[in-house]
Structure 1
Amino acid sequence: MPHTSRFSFIDPAKSPIFYGYIILVIGTIGIYCSIPGQTIGVSVFTDPVKDALGLSRNQFSNAYMIGTICSSLVIGRAGIWFDKYGARYVAFFAAITLAMALVLCSWSVQMSEFLKNMLNVDTWLVPFVLMAALFFVLRFSGQGVLTMASRNVIMIWFDKNRGKVNAISSVAISFGFSSSPLWVNALIEGYSWQVTWQILAVALLIFSFFILQFYKNKPEEHGLLPDGEVLAGEEKSNKPPVSRQYTAKEAQKTRAFWMYGLILAFNSFFITGLTFHVVSVFASEGFSKADAISIFLPASVVAVTISLIFNFLSDYLQLKLYLYLMILGGIMASVGFLFLSSPFGIPMLIGGFGILGGFFAVLNAIVWPRFYGRTHLGAITGKVMSFLILGSALAPPIFSLCFSTFGSYRLLGYLGLLFLLFLALGSIKANNPQ
């Protein structure tokens, strides 16, 4: 058995079905297991944890921002690990690290009191620095490494059918993520926030065993080919040439890398900022909290529909069309954001919000292996992931600063339109480098 199957009893070559479909299932579960390190998973803990630590909402949010920014600065290294050691070991250690971080988070009050006693101080800085450090580990291992490794391993096992399998994975993840606050909050109310974090840690430790057993780095390491193709005899001699395998540095020299990366980062920035301040954004235009919250369900329906349809079609269409459709979604969202109180404001915002989210699910998975190959996929996606994490970290304070300085969020809408115009012009020659 090859070294890549060490500690595993599973042989992909003996699977009764193409093993890539097993990778699709287990990889999707892996992304779902990153929820404790995602904003949607952390946000449910905000109120009980900040109160227990004696932090204000701003202090807690700033600790989260600092931890997220720091994780964005080093996530590129995890991409290099992915290329060197493979998805299996990287995802395994990411799950273990995330589980350990969750256990430490559940002990954060005790750790904070211990440090205060040891340093003989009584200041908010102790829990602030402690939570910033814990958030760094949570974001790095959860949102960063586990998500990247799990998504990439699915893409590596497919080529021609990459869009179809990503459609299945994206829809499952969308429903899983959107429902997670409900069951996480139910656990917190039933068992306390400390026990909930410990339960999630145990679940991750159990899943790490499945990672070690079922994650397989590449089909070629097991005598297989992407999509389950079988080439023999004359077919081998007529096999089409292998696409060029770009390194991360080579990829960054292409225009496509920056244009696609920047529109994905714009999505991360805009969606995070709007979600974080949605009640305040709507209140500034005279709407109620119920009006603000009501945009998420229809926007999710649009996003899931777009993701499902265009993931399937991505195996047949040029991705540059998708890039411009995503830019169009951003323009719609920005216009709706600017003219929220007008009759077309909320429908435009919902439509643009959904289009951005839908095409994000397609492009973030499909672009990089199709444009740059699979050999250095980890380093390339790690760099892109740093853009996304940095955008999500900077959005809440920038939105807040804009409102506190100008008394309105509208400046961000105008800046968004300028940025999208730049992307639209810059993307004219953002062609597939293959």
Structure 2
Amino acid sequence: MTADPLSDAVKPARRFLGWRIAGLAVITGAMTGPGQTIGVSVSIDPLIAELGLSRPQVSAAYLIGTLAGGAALLPVGSWIDRVGTRRAMRWIGAAFGLGLVVMAGVQGFVTLAIGFTLIRWLGQGALSLVSSLSITHWFERRRGRVFGVTSPTISGLMSLTPLMLGLAVAAYGVRVAWLLAAAAVWLVVIPIGHFGIVDRPSDVGQRPDGHKRPPSTARAGAGSARTPATRAQAITQPRFVLMACVIATASMVATGLNFHQISILTGAGLSPTQAAAMFVPQVTGMIAAGLAMGALADRLPARVLLAAAMLLLLCALAMVGRLEPGWQAFAYTVLLGAGGGAHFPLVPTVLPRWFGLANIGGIQGVSMLISVAASAAGPVTVALLAAGTGGYAAAAWWLAAIPLATGLGALWITEPA
């Protein structure tokens, strides 16, 4: 009989802290907004005006920053595994704030590319990663349901970022807006990391999911991999490669269509105002898909859910050539949000189940790098296909081959023995 690892541990905290950790992780996840495309977008026109750069130059700086920031993210996950989420969150929050300060002082193309690299690396990448990992250690059998709620909630809160930054830009200018964003990150993220986050349940005498007793071997095996894998072992397994294809496909296609969404919808007869309003049903679709996928992730094999995510994306692409004002545009944006966001709760739920928790930061960091790189390629891929085929409708049919192949491949994923 195996001894209970907590039998001689510290006295357990009175209440299960996992729910508090999840709530705080949602807040820190939302604070990545200034480093996300949705937050950066409101500063593009003011930066063009202040720096005297062209739109293609600013876009090129953003592409460089996104790719460089994604590459710099690779060692971050393993570092979080070593130092713990509490310490990592404090340092990442401090560094992200400094990156936003750098953005307030950019003077030209080179410094702009450096600033974009810092906020994409530390905001979109590192802070998002540590926010997710802070939840991962606290839940096992409920992990899918928890991420099914937290992932879309973060997205919903993050949608407030362009409004807040837009108001700051209008009132004080783009440089002061970046400084205010830095102050907000420091005032929110660093205290949460220091006072609110606990690395693991065992640190306070608790167990994942709030169990009072250690789960049976059979039940424990259902929630985590029996033998933890190293990052090198994990990323060479076919199941990881197939999931990575799903992540890359969803990131590239959804980002590409989102980047050109106003053009796509106005070309279908919607006014610019109507086209912009379609982001609301898109977020609704993403939230609904996240809730559903998270609830099912603890019950169904990953292959079924990953294939379903690709099917939703296929349905969205099939609607591009049939877009008209009315229900068609509404259905398209809902499907696009669902297809682009369905995998969000699946990745942090399934990877620990497959590969264990010992090196999960490094493994999940690779998946995030893949997502960032694919999203960077999305806008130019859609633009080139549309130019080469004569429009977005034909481009969508060419793009559809990618989620079709990826979805079929996902059906071959097997669960660990």
| Global fold match (TM > 0.5) | yes
Q: Residue 166 of structure 1 aligns with which residue?
A: 147
| Residues 239 and 276 (structure 1), Cα distance of their counterparts in 2 relative to 1, 3 Å cut | closer
Taking a change above 3 Å as real, the CA distance of residues 314 and 236 of structure 1, as seen in their structure-2 partners, is closer
Map 1:217-256 → 2, pairs under 5 A:
217-231=199-213, 240=220, 243-256=226-239
Matches within 5 A, 1:24-423: 24-108=22-106, 112=107, 127-206=108-187, 207-231=189-213, 240=220, 243-340=226-323, 346=329, 348-423=331-406
Q: Relative to 1, partners in 2 of residues 1:401 and 1:107: Cα closer, same or farther, differing over 3 Å?
A: same
Distance, in Å, in 2 between the alignment partners of 1:419 and 1:236 is 42
Distance 1:153 1:178 in 2: 22
Q: 2:246 and 2:99 mapped to 1: Cα distance?
A: 31
Specify whether residues 231 and 181 from structure 1 end up closer, same or farther in structure 2 by C-alpha distance, changes over 3 A only.
Answer: same
Partner SS for 2:357: coil
Change (3 A) 1:378 1:339: same
Q: Following the alignment from structure 2 to structure 1, what is the Cα–Cα distance between the partners of residues 322 and 351?
A: 35
- CA distance in 1 between counterparts of 2:79 and 2:235 reads 19
**C-alpha deviation, 1:240, in angstroms:** 4.8
**Cα distance, 1:409 vs structure 2:** 3.0
2:183 and 2:330 map into 1 onto residues whose CA distance is 42
Q: CA deviation at 1:220?
A: 2.5
Q: Which range moves more in the overlay, 404-413 or 379-388? A: 404-413
The residue number in structure 2 matching 1:4 is none
Q: Deviations over 1:16-70 (max 9, x none)?
A: 3111112111111111111111111111111112211111111111100111011
Ranges in structure 2 where 5+ consecutive residues have no aligned partner: 1-8
Q: Cα distance 1:310–1:406, how it changes in 2: closer, same or farther (>3 A)?
A: closer
Distance in 2 between the 1:81 and 1:203 partners? 25
When normalised by structure 1's length, the TM-score is: 0.86
Counterpart CA distance in 1 for 2:251 and 2:387 is: 22
2:242 touches 2:409 (CA, 8 Å); kept in 1? yes
> Once the 2 structures are TM-superposed, how far is the Cα of residue 405 of structure 1 from its aligned partner?
4.4
SS in 1 for 2:391: coil
Distance (Å, rounded) in 1 between the aligned partners of 2:70 and 2:395: 23
Kept in 2, the 8 Å contact 1:103–1:197? The answer is yes
Separation in 2, partners of 1:92, 1:246? 27
Structure 2 contact 251–340 (Cα < 8 Å) conserved: no
Q: How far, CA to CA, are the matches of 1:28 and 1:343 in structure 2? A: 34
Deviations 1:194-249 (A, max 9, x none): 222111111222221321222222223333221122227xx789985672212222
Structure 1 contact 335–348 (Cα < 8 Å) conserved: no
**Range 196-205 or range 299-308, more displaced:** 299-308
What displacement does 1:326 show?
0.4
**Aligned residue-pair number:** 405
TM-score (norm 2): 0.89
1:170 maps to a residue whose letter is S
> Could you say what the CA RMSD is over the residues aligned between the two structures, in angstroms?
2.5
Q: How big is the shift at 1:291?
A: 4.0
- Whichever residue aligns with residue 213 of structure 1, its letter is F
Deviation at 1:432, TM superposition (A): 1.9
CA distance in 1, matches of 2:404, 2:35: 33
Letter in 2 for 1:191: Y
Give SS of 1:360's match: coil
Structure 2 CA distance for aligned equivalents of residues 176 and 236 of structure 1: 38
Q: CA deviation at 1:80?
A: 1.4
Q: Deviations over 1:300-340 (max 9, x none)?
A: 22221222233223222222221121011011011112443
Q: Which moved more, 1:135-144 or 1:44-53?
A: 44-53
Residue identity opposite 1:84 in structure 2: R
Q: 1:404 & 1:265 partners in 2: Cα distance? A: 23
Whole-angstrom CA distance in 2 between matches of 1:240 and 1:101: 41
The 1-side partners of 2:220 and 2:267 are apart by 58
- DSSP 3-state at the match of 1:217: coil
